[in-house]
Amino acid sequence: MHEFSICRDILAAALEEYRALDPAPKRLKAVRVVAGGMHQIIPEYLATAYGILSRDTPAAGSKLDLVIKPVTGRCRECGWEGEIVPPFFQCAACGALAIDLMQGRELYLDRLEVEDHEHERDQGL
């Protein structure tokens, strides 16, 4: 269910950026979001939420690309750094349960892809 809350924030941020573009594009083609693995986002649910929430907005018909970043951590005991597979926050080298997270909590709007109007000089050629 948290996909809907997250999607509402994605759309608000994407539309704010889109409306501020100058010159105004013809349409919004795609929105890319980067999310860390800690957020446990289910891509299919997020896509469903995006389809529903984007209706009747300039984002209608655009595509949501979700990039999930793996969770990584550093061991406080031995200094090991590497990928963590939640829920096992354990050092792969020494087995210590002493992992500080390095990556995996991020959630940001990465980029928009827009289609521009044809340039005037291209018309009629």
Partner 1 sequence: MSTREIRVYKDLMGANEKWAGATRTLLSDQDVVMLNLIGSPGAGKTSLLEAMTPHLSKQARFAVLEGDIETTRDAERLDRLGVPVSQLLSGGACHLEARLVNQALTDFPLRDLDLVFVENVGNMVCPAEFDIGEKAKIAVLSITEGEDKPLKYPLLFREARAVVLTKTDLLPYLEFDLPACRRNIAQIDASLPVFEVSAMTGEGVPAFADWVINTPQTVL
Q: Which residues bind partner 1 (CB under 8 A)?
A: 1-2, 5-6, 9-10, 13, 17, 21, 25, 29, 33, 38-40, 86-90, 97-98, 101, 107-116, 118-119
Q: Please give the Cα distance from 54 to 52 (Å, whole number).
A: 6
8, 13, 20, 79, 87 from 59: Cα distances, Å: 12, 11, 14, 45, 35
Least distance in angstroms from the C-beta of 109 to partner 1: 4
Closest contact distance (angstroms) between CB of 97 and partner 1 is 4
Query: Cβ 107 to partner 1, closest distance in Å?
Result: 5
Instruction: Determine the Cα–Cα distance for residues 87 and 123; give it in Å rounded to an integer.
Output: 57
Judged by beta carbon, residue 59 or residue 114, the one nearer partner 1 is 114
3-class SS of residue 74: strand
